[in-house]
Amino acid sequence: MNNSIVQTLREVQLKDIVWTDRNLSKMPFHTAFWVQKRIGGAIAAHAHLAHGVLLDVGCGLKPYEKFFAPYVEKYYGTEYSPESGFRGNRADVAGDASAMPFASESVDTILCTEVLEHVAHPEKVIEEFARILKPDGIIITTAPFFTRFTIHSIFFATRTKELPSLCGGTVWKSKKSNRFPAQV
Q: Which residues pair with 181 in a beta bridge?
A: 176
Distance from chain centroid for Cα 63: 11
**Separation CA 78–CA 92 (nearest Å):** 6
Decide if 55 contacts 132 (C-beta within 8 A): yes
**Separation CA 85–CA 19 (nearest Å):** 8
Q: Give the pLDDT confidence score for residue 94 in this predicted structure.
A: 86
Q: Give the pLDDT confidence score for residue 83 in this predicted structure.
A: 59
Q: Give the pLDDT confidence score for residue 30 in this predicted structure.
A: 58
- Structural domains of the chain, ranges and CATH numbers in brackets: 3-183 (3.40.50.150)
Q: Give the pLDDT confidence score for residue 8 in this predicted structure.
A: 43
Decide if 39 contacts 114 (C-beta within 8 A): yes
User: What pTM did the predictor assign?
Assistant: 0.68
Q: Taking Cα atoms as reference points, which of 72, 74, 94 lies closest to residue 85?
A: 94
Per-residue pLDDT of the chain (184 residues; tens, 9 = 90+): 444 444 444 444 444 444 444 554 555 665 666 677 788 888 999 999 999 999 999 988 888 999 999 999 999 999 887 655 455 567 888 889 999 999 999 999 999 988 887 788 888 999 999 999 999 999 998 877 654 445 555 455 545 455 555 554 434 333 333 333 444 4
Decide if 41 contacts 20 (C-beta within 8 A): no
DSSP state for residue 64 in the 8-state scheme: T
Q: Give the pLDDT confidence score for residue 98 in this predicted structure.
A: 93
**Separation CA 26–CA 40 (nearest Å):** 13
Task: Compute, in degrees rounded to 10, the torsion defined by CA atoms 51, 59, 44, 41.
Answer: -160
